[in-house]
Protein backbone atom coordinates (compact mmCIF):
# COMPACT_ATOMS: atom_id res chain seq x y z
CA UNK A 1 0.00 0.00 0.00
CA UNK A 2 1.29 3.44 -0.93
CA UNK A 3 0.94 5.99 1.86
CA UNK A 4 -0.54 9.39 0.97
CA UNK A 5 1.91 12.25 0.56
CA UNK A 6 1.05 15.23 2.73
CA UNK A 7 2.31 18.35 0.95
CA UNK A 8 1.33 20.75 3.71
CA UNK A 9 4.05 22.77 5.41
CA UNK A 10 4.07 25.64 7.84
CA UNK A 11 4.55 29.05 6.21
CA UNK A 12 8.20 30.11 6.32
CA UNK A 13 9.13 33.62 5.13
CA UNK A 14 12.75 32.53 4.65
CA UNK A 15 11.76 30.08 1.90
CA UNK A 16 8.95 32.07 0.26
CA UNK A 17 9.63 33.00 -3.36
CA UNK A 18 7.96 35.52 -5.63
CA UNK A 19 7.23 34.01 -9.05
CA UNK A 20 5.18 36.91 -10.35
CA UNK A 21 6.36 39.39 -12.95
CA UNK A 22 8.58 39.16 -16.05
CA UNK A 23 10.78 36.23 -17.04
CA UNK A 24 14.51 36.68 -17.67
CA UNK A 25 16.46 34.90 -20.38
CA UNK A 26 19.93 34.05 -19.07
CA UNK A 27 22.41 32.46 -21.47
CA UNK A 28 25.30 30.74 -19.74
CA UNK A 29 28.58 29.29 -20.97
CA UNK A 30 30.75 29.46 -24.09
CA UNK A 31 29.17 28.73 -27.51
CA UNK A 32 30.28 25.08 -27.45
CA UNK A 33 28.36 24.27 -24.25
CA UNK A 34 25.91 27.15 -23.96
CA UNK A 35 22.58 26.72 -22.18
CA UNK A 36 19.66 29.09 -21.78
CA UNK A 37 17.71 29.49 -18.55
CA UNK A 38 14.38 31.24 -18.03
CA UNK A 39 13.96 32.59 -14.51
CA UNK A 40 11.52 34.91 -12.78
CA UNK A 41 13.03 38.38 -12.64
CA UNK A 42 11.86 39.16 -9.12
CA UNK A 43 13.48 36.01 -7.79
CA UNK A 44 16.84 36.93 -9.35
CA UNK A 45 16.88 40.61 -8.47
CA UNK A 46 15.79 40.03 -4.88
CA UNK A 47 18.75 37.75 -4.20
CA UNK A 48 21.42 39.04 -6.58
CA UNK A 49 22.77 42.57 -6.61
CA UNK A 50 24.39 41.77 -9.97
CA UNK A 51 21.03 41.08 -11.60
CA UNK A 52 19.40 43.96 -9.75
CA UNK A 53 21.90 46.46 -11.16
CA UNK A 54 21.92 44.94 -14.66
CA UNK A 55 18.14 45.24 -14.95
CA UNK A 56 17.64 48.76 -13.68
CA UNK A 57 17.43 51.94 -15.72
CA UNK A 58 17.98 51.89 -19.47
CA UNK A 59 20.72 49.27 -19.75
CA UNK A 60 20.17 47.03 -22.79
CA UNK A 61 19.68 44.04 -20.45
CA UNK A 62 16.85 45.89 -18.73
CA UNK A 63 15.08 46.47 -22.03
CA UNK A 64 15.65 43.01 -23.53
CA UNK A 65 15.27 41.03 -20.29
CA UNK A 66 18.25 39.02 -21.52
CA UNK A 67 21.64 38.53 -19.86
CA UNK A 68 24.71 36.66 -21.10
CA UNK A 69 27.19 34.93 -18.79
CA UNK A 70 29.66 33.40 -21.29
CA UNK A 71 32.41 32.68 -18.77
CA UNK A 72 30.31 30.67 -16.34
CA UNK A 73 29.49 26.97 -16.14
CA UNK A 74 25.96 25.97 -17.21
CA UNK A 75 26.08 23.03 -14.80
CA UNK A 76 26.94 25.24 -11.83
CA UNK A 77 24.39 27.85 -12.88
CA UNK A 78 21.72 25.13 -13.07
CA UNK A 79 22.44 24.31 -9.43
CA UNK A 80 22.14 28.01 -8.59
CA UNK A 81 18.71 28.17 -10.24
CA UNK A 82 17.63 25.02 -8.38
CA UNK A 83 18.72 26.63 -5.12
CA UNK A 84 16.79 29.83 -5.90
CA UNK A 85 13.56 27.94 -6.46
CA UNK A 86 13.82 25.09 -3.94
CA UNK A 87 16.34 26.21 -1.32
CA UNK A 88 18.25 22.97 -1.90
CA UNK A 89 21.27 21.70 -3.87
CA UNK A 90 20.84 18.26 -5.52
CA UNK A 91 24.39 16.92 -5.27
CA UNK A 92 24.19 14.42 -2.43
CA UNK A 93 24.36 10.77 -3.43
CA UNK A 94 24.59 7.59 -1.39
CA UNK A 95 27.89 7.57 0.47
CA UNK A 96 30.25 4.80 -0.70
CA UNK A 97 31.22 2.05 1.71
CA UNK A 98 34.39 1.29 -0.23
CA UNK A 99 37.05 3.34 1.54
CA UNK A 100 38.95 3.84 -1.72
CA UNK A 101 35.99 5.81 -3.12
CA UNK A 102 35.26 8.07 -0.15
CA UNK A 103 37.84 10.77 -0.90
CA UNK A 104 36.53 11.26 -4.44
CA UNK A 105 32.93 11.25 -3.20
CA UNK A 106 33.63 14.03 -0.69
CA UNK A 107 35.98 16.03 -2.93
CA UNK A 108 33.39 16.17 -5.71
CA UNK A 109 30.85 17.73 -3.35
CA UNK A 110 33.32 20.22 -1.91
CA UNK A 111 34.47 21.30 -5.38
CA UNK A 112 30.90 21.77 -6.59
CA UNK A 113 29.95 23.79 -3.51
CA UNK A 114 33.07 25.94 -3.84
CA UNK A 115 32.33 26.62 -7.51
CA UNK A 116 28.77 27.54 -6.64
CA UNK A 117 30.08 29.89 -3.95
CA UNK A 118 32.26 31.63 -6.55
CA UNK A 119 29.25 32.09 -8.81
CA UNK A 120 27.30 33.58 -5.90
CA UNK A 121 30.26 35.88 -5.23
CA UNK A 122 30.14 37.09 -8.85
CA UNK A 123 26.37 37.54 -8.71
CA UNK A 124 26.67 39.34 -5.35
CA UNK A 125 24.19 36.98 -3.72
CA UNK A 126 24.94 37.06 0.00
CA UNK A 127 22.10 34.72 0.96
CA UNK A 128 23.40 31.98 -1.31
CA UNK A 129 26.96 32.45 -0.04
CA UNK A 130 25.73 31.96 3.53
CA UNK A 131 23.78 28.84 2.54
CA UNK A 132 26.92 27.43 0.93
CA UNK A 133 29.22 28.03 3.90
CA UNK A 134 26.58 26.33 6.06
CA UNK A 135 26.52 23.38 3.66
CA UNK A 136 30.31 23.06 3.50
CA UNK A 137 30.43 23.18 7.30
CA UNK A 138 27.75 20.46 7.50
CA UNK A 139 29.71 18.24 5.09
CA UNK A 140 32.87 18.70 7.16
CA UNK A 141 31.03 17.42 10.24
CA UNK A 142 29.77 14.23 8.58
CA UNK A 143 31.59 11.03 9.46
CA UNK A 144 31.96 8.80 6.43
CA UNK A 145 31.74 5.00 6.48
CA UNK A 146 35.37 4.74 7.56
CA UNK A 147 34.57 6.81 10.67
CA UNK A 148 36.58 9.78 9.40
CA UNK A 149 35.65 13.38 8.68
CA UNK A 150 37.00 14.84 5.45
CA UNK A 151 37.90 18.47 4.77
CA UNK A 152 38.40 20.61 1.65
CA UNK A 153 41.68 20.00 -0.14
CA UNK A 154 44.08 21.88 -2.38
CA UNK A 155 41.73 22.15 -5.37
CA UNK A 156 38.93 23.66 -3.29
CA UNK A 157 41.28 26.19 -1.71
CA UNK A 158 42.43 27.26 -5.17
CA UNK A 159 38.84 27.58 -6.40
CA UNK A 160 37.95 29.79 -3.44
CA UNK A 161 41.05 31.99 -3.46
CA UNK A 162 41.10 32.43 -7.23
CA UNK A 163 37.40 33.30 -7.28
CA UNK A 164 37.37 35.80 -4.42
CA UNK A 165 39.35 39.01 -4.11
CA UNK A 166 38.85 39.84 -0.47
CA UNK A 167 38.03 38.49 2.95
CA UNK A 168 34.93 36.28 2.91
CA UNK A 169 33.28 33.43 4.79
CA UNK A 170 34.68 30.70 2.54
CA UNK A 171 38.25 31.93 2.98
CA UNK A 172 37.84 32.09 6.75
CA UNK A 173 36.43 28.59 6.79
CA UNK A 174 39.12 26.78 4.79
CA UNK A 175 41.96 28.38 6.71
CA UNK A 176 40.23 27.50 10.00
CA UNK A 177 40.01 23.88 8.82
CA UNK A 178 43.75 23.88 8.14
CA UNK A 179 44.65 25.70 11.36
CA UNK A 180 42.64 23.22 13.40
CA UNK A 181 43.09 19.86 11.71
CA UNK A 182 45.95 19.91 9.18
CA UNK A 183 48.81 17.47 9.43
CA UNK A 184 51.97 17.38 7.36
CA UNK A 185 50.24 15.09 4.85
CA UNK A 186 47.73 17.84 4.02
CA UNK A 187 50.39 19.88 2.27
CA UNK A 188 51.64 18.96 -1.22
CA UNK A 189 55.35 18.30 -1.72
CA UNK A 190 55.45 21.36 -3.92
CA UNK A 191 53.83 24.04 -1.76
CA UNK A 192 53.41 26.16 -4.88
CA UNK A 193 50.19 24.21 -5.40
CA UNK A 194 48.53 26.32 -2.71
CA UNK A 195 47.79 30.03 -3.13
CA UNK A 196 50.41 32.22 -1.45
CA UNK A 197 47.65 34.40 -0.06
CA UNK A 198 46.12 31.35 1.63
CA UNK A 199 49.44 30.35 3.19
CA UNK A 200 49.97 33.87 4.49
CA UNK A 201 46.44 33.96 5.90
CA UNK A 202 47.01 30.58 7.56
CA UNK A 203 50.21 31.77 9.23
CA UNK A 204 48.37 34.81 10.62
CA UNK A 205 45.61 32.60 12.04
CA UNK A 206 48.12 30.21 13.65
CA UNK A 207 50.07 33.08 15.21
CA UNK A 208 46.87 34.63 16.51
CA UNK A 209 45.77 31.33 18.03
CA UNK A 210 49.16 30.78 19.61
CA UNK A 211 48.89 34.22 21.18
CA UNK A 212 45.58 33.19 22.73
CA UNK A 213 47.10 29.98 24.04
CA UNK A 214 44.51 28.06 22.07
CA UNK A 215 41.69 29.49 24.17
CA UNK A 216 38.72 31.37 22.87
CA UNK A 217 38.86 29.65 19.49
CA UNK A 218 35.65 27.83 18.59
CA UNK A 219 36.13 24.48 16.88
CA UNK A 220 34.64 24.21 13.40
CA UNK A 221 33.11 20.94 14.61
CA UNK A 222 30.77 22.76 17.00
CA UNK A 223 30.87 26.48 16.18
CA UNK A 224 27.84 28.51 15.19
CA UNK A 225 27.41 28.47 11.40
CA UNK A 226 26.95 32.23 11.48
CA UNK A 227 30.68 32.53 12.08
CA UNK A 228 31.19 32.21 8.31
CA UNK A 229 28.29 34.32 7.14
CA UNK A 230 28.83 37.61 5.35
CA UNK A 231 29.27 40.76 7.43
CA UNK A 232 30.23 38.76 10.47
CA UNK A 233 33.05 41.11 11.29
CA UNK A 234 36.47 40.10 12.46
CA UNK A 235 37.70 36.54 12.46
CA UNK A 236 37.42 34.56 15.61
Rounded to whole angstroms, the Cα distance separating 169 from 226 reads 9
Rounded to whole angstroms, the Cα distance separating 114 from 112 reads 5
CA distances from 167 to 3, 35, 49, 206 (A): 49, 32, 18, 17
Q: Are residues 210 and 113 in the same domain?
A: yes
Q: Are residues 158 and 212 in the same domain?
A: yes
Domain with residue 62: its CATH number is 3.30.710.10
For the four alpha carbons of 18, 24, 25 and 27, in that order, the dihedral sign comes to: negative
CA-based nearest residue to 110, from 145, 139, 81, 142:
139
Which parts of the chain sit beneath pLDDT 70? Answer: 188-191, 211-218, 232-236
- Counted domains in the chain: 2
Q: Are residues 67 and 124 in the same domain?
A: no
Domain membership flag for residue 141: yes
Domain that holds residue 30: 22-73
- Cα angle: 71, vertex 72, 78; to 5 degrees: 155
Domain membership flag for residue 234: no
Q: Are 129 and 230 in contact (CB under 8 A)?
A: yes
Q: Are residues 167 and 206 in the same domain?
A: yes
Half-sphere exposure of residue 201: CA atoms within 13 angstroms, side-chain side: 20
Predicted pLDDT at 15: 76
For the four alpha carbons of 141, 145, 147 and 150, in that order, the dihedral sign comes to: negative
Q: Are residues 96 and 211 in the same domain?
A: yes
Predicted pLDDT at 187: 79
Integer-rounded Cα Rg, in Å, for the chain is 20
Predicted pLDDT at 212: 64
DSSP state, residue 225: G
Helical H segments across the chain, by residue range: 41-47, 49-54, 60-64, 74-86, 99-122, 126-141, 154-163, 169-181, 196-211
Q: Are residues 44 and 106 in the same domain?
A: no
229 Rama class: left (phi>0) / alpha (psi -120 to 50) / beta: beta
Amino acid sequence: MVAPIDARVCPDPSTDIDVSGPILKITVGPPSSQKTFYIHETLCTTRSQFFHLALRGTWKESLSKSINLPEDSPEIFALYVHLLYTNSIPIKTEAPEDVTEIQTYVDTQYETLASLYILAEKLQDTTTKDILTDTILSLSREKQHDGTRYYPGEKVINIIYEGTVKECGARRMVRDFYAEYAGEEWFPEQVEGLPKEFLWDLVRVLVRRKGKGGSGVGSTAICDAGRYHEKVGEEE
